[in-house]
Amino acid sequence: MKKMTDAEKFSLIRREAIFTAFALVGLIIFWLVAGFGTSGSEIKIFHLPLWAIFGTFGVWFFAIFISWLLSHKIFTDMDLGGDDND
Amino acid sequence: MTENFSAILPLLIFMAFMVGISIFVRKNQAEKNFLGNYFVGNRELGGFVLAMTTVATYSSVSSFVGGPGMAYQIGFGWIYMAVVQVTAIFLVLGIFGKRVAILARKFNAVTVVDIIRARFNSNFLAAISAFVIVLFFCGTMTAQFVGGAKLFSAVTGYTYETGLILFGLVVVIYTSIGGFRAVALTDTFCALVMMVGIILLLNFVLQAGGGYSAIMESLEINHPEMFEPFSFGKMPWGIYFTQWLLVGICTIALPQSVVRGISYKNTQGLHSAMLIGTVVVGFMNIGINFTGILAHGILPGNPADYGGVDNIIPTTIATVMPKNLVGLAIIGPLAASISTISGLLIVASSAIVKDIYLHYKKNADNKNLKILSVATTAIIGGIVFVIALTPPSLIWLINMFAFGGLETAFFWILIFGLFWKKANKLGAELSMIGGTIIYCVTQATGFKFFDLHQITIGISASLILFLIGCKLGEPTDKKTLQIFFPER
């Protein structure tokens, strides 16, 4: 783990928080398109209309993907300080 | 309904296990740093437990009883609305997790109020924060007690009071004994039990309803509105909008969630928790609400035929589950109830002991502190228990009222406080006091804008007041800013 100053840590945390906010915006857009956006479709899968599948399971899977992306690709491990460091 | 002892036996074993965990934790608690141990588990939580305790505290009895009852009435539009809760875990941990963890280690903070006090240099704001936490948490806990005991009574045939004593008193006891670490471990167990409960109930609903295809074909013919996002007018856009605020975006400011950021061990754990928590919260939300819709296969009437939406899940459990499995099925929703109570109880207790008492009596000795912490937890739990003995009506509304109140009070304070240098004491005080009062007044009078939930008014008012305060008030001193916003 790279040694960082407090300033570097807080700058990184700010960047991560901004990415999380972007992820939220992305999820809201996905939710709108997946649900309302496909509600005109007549297609049904397992007796469920497309909007109900994309707007529920689809949103869940997309949120899992976003969480994975944030936690494994964007967020960085860091020492949290104190006497119980990583 | 007659009393059914086999229905409460698994619950008795479950509750005994919870108390056992609590006693084990207490016996193994390190003697040093009692407060850190008791209120945040000495910052030792790993990723899995962090995820589970955050989800379990967030998922209440409403998620398991009121929510699926509404899904039964509305259809897939309700699940589409409820699924916005998948944001709750990655947002709170992603935005506040690391910042709160580092700051807590700097100040040796064990509560969110500790951090607010340090950021705004205001004992007054800290006292108000503690008061708001205790007040709204008592409301939420009452709703959990009442919801859980009503469910217990409806399913097992025992009285409401028996249910309240059986699970209500036990949760107060085990939280008082074991503190936060016991809460986190029992929450983890509760979350696992909730998931098993959902699978079990779904399985029996499908069996009793003649299978998935049969139930869905019947719904397509008899309830076409359930396959439409606005449910033929039963789900207006305003509900979608306000639910995004109420149970989605603004939940990041719930003190019971933010305090989880103080309690974990390292950033690897935090990253795992974001992923695990999102998987679990989505599974629970979709699973239990879908089960609510499929309950039409065995309850073909209207909610009113079964005593209202809150009775759909209890009636379903009582109808489809074999008598010897009813006890297992009821543990899931009750686990949601007790995990929320325990999570709130420990934070409410810390607000009184750490944020108020200890601030004014800094030289309290360790032995007295232990007694005081345990006693405070027990007394708050006891008060809520007594209130729940004469249950108020409209549990769902009390729960949502408290949710909105906490979000109005803490949302801008935490966001601006931790990410905006210009946020100052006057802004924070005006926002918390003014926003919360305006929210409560609009709730009491029923005043709404465009028929939207009052959270929209509360959160807007607290934002405006914060910005006015920042414009008129003194800027934060440089020393504090250097701690919260260190520069190279």
Q: What are phi and psi of A44, to 5 degrees?
A: -130, 140
How confident is the model at residue B31, as a pLDDT? 63
Domains and CATH numbers, chain B: 5-395 (1.20.1730.10)
- Walking along chain B (488 residues) 10 residues at a time, the average pLDDT comes out as 71 90 84 74 86 86 86 95 94 95 89 92 92 89 87 86 87 88 89 90 95 95 94 90 89 90 92 96 95 95 87 90 81 85 87 83 76 89 86 68 92 96 96 96 88 90 97 94 88
How confident is the model at residue A85, as a pLDDT? 41
Ranges of each domain in chain A: 32-73
Burial of B367 (0-12, 13-18, 19+ CB in 10 A): exposed
Query: What tens-digit pLDDT sequence spans chain A (86 residues)?
Result: 778 888 999 999 999 999 999 999 999 999 999 999 999 999 999 999 999 999 999 999 999 999 999 999 999 999 888 644 43
Instruction: Give me the residue from B76, B266, B274 closest to A71, CB to CB.
Output: B274
How confident is the model at residue A86, as a pLDDT? 38
Of B429, B438, B431, residue with least CA distance to B412? B431
The answer to whether residue B487 neighbours chain A at the CB level (below 8 Å) is yes
How confident is the model at residue B51, as a pLDDT? 93
Q: In the beta sheet, which residues pair with residue B45?
A: B264
Rounded to whole angstroms, the Cα distance separating B426 from B405 reads 20
Q: Are B175 and B137 in contact (CB under 8 A)?
A: no
ipTM of the complex: 0.94
Yes or no, beta carbons of B94 and A75 under 8 Å apart: yes
How confident is the model at residue A84, as a pLDDT? 45
Longest dimension (CA), chain B: 71
Of B154, B183, B179, B153, residue with least CA distance to B165? B153
Yes or no, beta carbons of B265 and A84 under 8 Å apart: yes
Chain B residue numbers touching A19 (CB-CB < 8 A): 94
Q: What is the pTM of this model?
A: 0.90
The answer to whether residue B105 neighbours chain A at the CB level (below 8 Å) is yes
How confident is the model at residue B324, as a pLDDT? 76
Structure tokens at A46: 């397992």
Yes or no, beta carbons of A55 and B229 under 8 Å apart: yes
Chain A residue numbers touching B265 (CB-CB < 8 A): 84, 86
**For residue B419, what is the nearest residue in chain A, using CA coordinates?**
A14
* Residue partners of B317: CB distance under 8 A and separation at least 6: B155, B201, B326, B329, B330
A23: distance to nearest CA of chain B, Å? 9
